[in-house]
Amino acid sequence: MQTYDTVAAYRAWRYSLPSTSTVGVVPTMGALHAGHISLARAAASENTHVVVTIFLNPAQFAPTEDLAAYPKTMEKDLAALEELNASLPPDAPGRVIAVFAPTVAEMYPLGIPLQRCEQVGTFVEVIPLSAKLEGGTRPHFFRGVATVCTKLFNITQPKRVYFGQKDVQQTVILRRLLGDLHFDIQLRVIGTEREKDGLAMSSRNVYLSGERRQVAVVLSKALKAAESLYNNGESDAGKLLDAARRIVEKCGEENGGMVKLDYVSLNEPELLEEVEKVERGRGVILSAAMWVNPTREGEGTVRLIDNLILE
């Protein structure tokens, strides 16, 4: 497994591959967990070569967000990928053969200040999908995602790219981006990996400990409660959303405001339009986001997202 930190070095390797090779790419911001490894494992089952990109993208962060504190675990990340390779069955089509881990200067030659009004260069936006759901609270976020993914797709030249369902809005946006910009790339969406208690795996979970970790699971519980109501025959979106909302709000009240719901929403899967009634068989997205607030000095606010698909 080789690590490349410049576009030129990576491309020299990429162009050396036989024309029959298929490259599967797993874009990450590092701090790899079991969810990332499941994406790489899926890529190894479908491609002759797997590339994992590790790049903490400043364009996804606002000045008030946790860029400086975001976990950076490159040595552990590389070890985890080597461990994955060792665990793959002998007949697996591929393995993680390369890691592309560029510097910020390599990806943004003109610099990338966190203040959007100061940014100079070429950026990509997917309108209006980027303004919905997560975009309501983080209007900068999907512009950063779309821009860096466009760069990474152009650099790595994959046949397939792999993303997790936990970031479901991201997958909807990237599917539209791939189509609108005529990329000859297949998007694979892999199911959300969860902790034993149901908490969706996220690199930001390392910020949670003690009481905060215990209450964080309420987000997945709220979604499961709405799903259970739906499975018992309820299709009214308002009632389903209220069921989820009440669980998070009650948890916040019982724990001194430790958790605060941002949104819970039901959306159709293509344009992310809100639905009033869930049509069975359409695969409507039930998604939510909440903040886990600090309980002591030195802790920061942690934002969690999660979703389920109501079939």
Q: Using the 3D structure, point to which of 190, 218, 236 is the last residue of a domain.
A: 190
Does one domain contain both 132 and 234? Answer: no
One domain for residues 186 and 242: no
CATH classification of the domain holding 52: 3.40.50.620
Q: Which of 225, 228, 268, 230 is nearest to 248 (CA)?
A: 225
Which of these three, 190, 225, 251, is where a domain ends? 190
For residue 82, what are its two tokens? 């080597």
Provide the residue range defining the domain that includes 37.
2-190
- Answer yes or no: do 154 and 222 share one domain: no
Residue 197 lies in a domain: no
27 and 126 belong to one structural domain? yes
Q: Which residues contact 75 (CB under 8 A, 6 or more apart)?
A: none
Q: How far apart are CA 78 and CA 84, in angstroms?
A: 10
CATH for 215: 3.30.1300.10
Asked if the structure places residue 301 within a domain, the reply is yes
Indicate the number of domains in the chain.
Answer: 2
Instruction: Report if residue 200 sits inside a domain.
Output: no
CA 270 vs CA 23, 155, 173, 194, 286: distances in Å: 27, 27, 9, 25, 13
pTM: 0.96
Catalytic positions are 36
Contact criterion met (CB below 8 Å) for 59 and 33: no
Q: Which pLDDT value is given to residue 298?
A: 87
List, run by run, the mean pLDDT of 10-residue segments along the chain (311 residues).
98 97 98 98 98 98 92 97 97 97 98 95 97 95 98 98 98 98 98 97 95 97 98 98 98 97 97 96 96 93 97 94
- Are 41 and 165 in the same domain? yes
Q: Which of 157, 190, 223 is where one domain is finished? A: 190
